């Protein structure tokens, strides 16, 4: 089967460069907004397998991206571990009880809460065009642990970092529980039909070097090794946002198959600094996509030029923003596909 994006994840250079966009199934699409309004909320949408499959496929139907990303959320894992999950309008997700105030072993695990996600995977796998790579995903242990500890997201993750310093044994138990649940979760996604998986470590950049080794690299390496042992043909993309100069160590030590780069990474530096064989994904600034015009073309060209000699998947450096014009997505796709 000719799936260009999957070929790149396995180390092949493909021209034109395959492309997908993080959060490509989301609020910038009118068809998504209509379906979400009908279902009544984000979590309701995630837990409706038919609707979540439709959302996953919406950007494929509209744009023909080379990859489809499962529509779900990284916080389904804490939900399955027993925390209450809510998405509050205008405030974002909330988990309770927050583990800075409650014991992990006081939670009642509910793995059945993940059942709708596997149903979504099966539905999408049955409908996806044969040339399109289907990407599953999960949050990396550190990022998920920050939400579980604090009960919500924060820019500096101060509560989770304090907890990790104050009681590394207790924090390590949270990481271990997330690792175990995530291994099962991604394994079942693969068994249900995804071709590759991405680990989102959205808050990796907040850690000191020693903590980065302990809470980002080590858990990711254990998880990647376990997944490769069970699913040796399924590539793993690691996306440690904000890692900067720590990226070469992440690439060498975690064992992931490809590295996602955020928009702050100089693509020329990344090409020179990362292991020569490893595919890279990224890393257009989402605001350049909103700007459009010449600024968008120049930003895209710089990335394409930097990675011309390396296996490369074109993507954003973070998720597509809700006010992104659809015409600018079309402009980007034309630019990337005409550069091959």
> Does 73 qualify as catalytic in the annotation?
yes
Catalytic residue among 27, 113, 222, 302: 27
> Alpha-carbon distance 330 to 292, whole Å?
10
Chain mean position to CA 249: 20
The stretches of the chain forming alpha helices (DSSP H) are 4-9, 30-39, 42-46, 49-63, 76-81, 115-127, 141-150, 158-166, 168-192, 209-212, 218-230, 247-254, 267-273, 286-291, 293-306, 326-338
> Does 23 qualify as catalytic in the annotation?
yes
59 SS3 class: helix
> Does 27 qualify as catalytic in the annotation?
yes
> Does 201 qualify as catalytic in the annotation?
no
> Does 147 qualify as catalytic in the annotation?
yes
Q: Which residue carries 């550069």 as its tokens?
A: 339
Nearest to 114 by CA among 40, 192, 172: 192
Q: How far apart are the first and last CA of the chain?
A: 21
Do 237 and 256 touch, CB atoms closer than 8 A? yes
Catalytic residue among 54, 66, 73, 285: 73
From residue 91, alpha-carbon distances to 41, 94, 274, 327, 328 in Å are 13, 8, 37, 29, 28
Catalytic residue among 14, 32, 66, 147: 147
Peptide bond into 16 cis (omega under 30): yes
Helices (H) and strands (E) in the chain, counts: 16, 9
Catalytic residue among 3, 36, 161, 310: 36
Query: Which residues are catalytically annotated?
Result: 23, 27, 36, 73, 147
């Amino acid at each position: 089967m000719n799936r260009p994006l999957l070929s790149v994840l396995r180390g092949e250079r493909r021209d034109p460069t395959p492309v997908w966009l993080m959060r490509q199934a989301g609020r910038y699409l009118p068809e998504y907004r209509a379906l979400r309004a009908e279902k009544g909320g984000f979590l309701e949408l995630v837990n409706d397998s038919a609707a979540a499959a439709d959302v996953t496929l919406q950007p494929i139907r509209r744009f023909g991206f080379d990859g489809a990303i499962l529509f779900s959320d990284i916080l389904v894992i804490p939900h399955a571990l027993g925390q209450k999950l809510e998405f509050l309008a205008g405030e974002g997700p909330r988990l309770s009880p927050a583990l800075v105030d409650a014991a992990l072993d006081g939670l009642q695990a509910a793995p059945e809460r993940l059942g709708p996600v596997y149903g979504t995977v099966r539905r999408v796998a049955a409908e996806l065009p044969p040339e399109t790579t289907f990407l599953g995903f999960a949050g990396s242990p550190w990022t998920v642990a920050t939400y579980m500890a604090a009960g919500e997201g924060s820019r500096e993750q101060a509560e989770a970092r304090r907890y990790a310093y104050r009681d590394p044994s207790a924090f390590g138990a949270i990481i271990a529980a997330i690792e175990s649940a995530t291994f099962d979760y991604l394994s079942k996604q693969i068994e249900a039909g995804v071709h590759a998986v991405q680990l989102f470590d959205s808050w990796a950049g907040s850690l000191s070097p020693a903590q980065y080794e302990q809470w980002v690299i080590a858990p990711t390496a254990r998880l990647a090794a376990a997944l490769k042992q069970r699913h040796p043909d399924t590539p793993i993309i690691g996306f440690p946002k904000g890692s900067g100069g720590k990226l070469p160590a992440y690439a060498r030590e975690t064992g992931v198959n490809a590295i996602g780069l955020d928009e702050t990474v100089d693509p020329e530096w990344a090409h020179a600094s990362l292991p020569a064989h490893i595919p890279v994904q990224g890393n257009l600034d989402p605001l350049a996509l909103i700007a459009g015009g010449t600024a968008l073309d120049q930003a895209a060209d710089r990335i394409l030029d930097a990675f011309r000699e390396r296996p490369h998947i074109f993507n954003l450096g973070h998720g597509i923003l809700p006010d992104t014009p659809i015409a600018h997505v079309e402009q980007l796709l034309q630019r990337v596909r005409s550069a091959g």
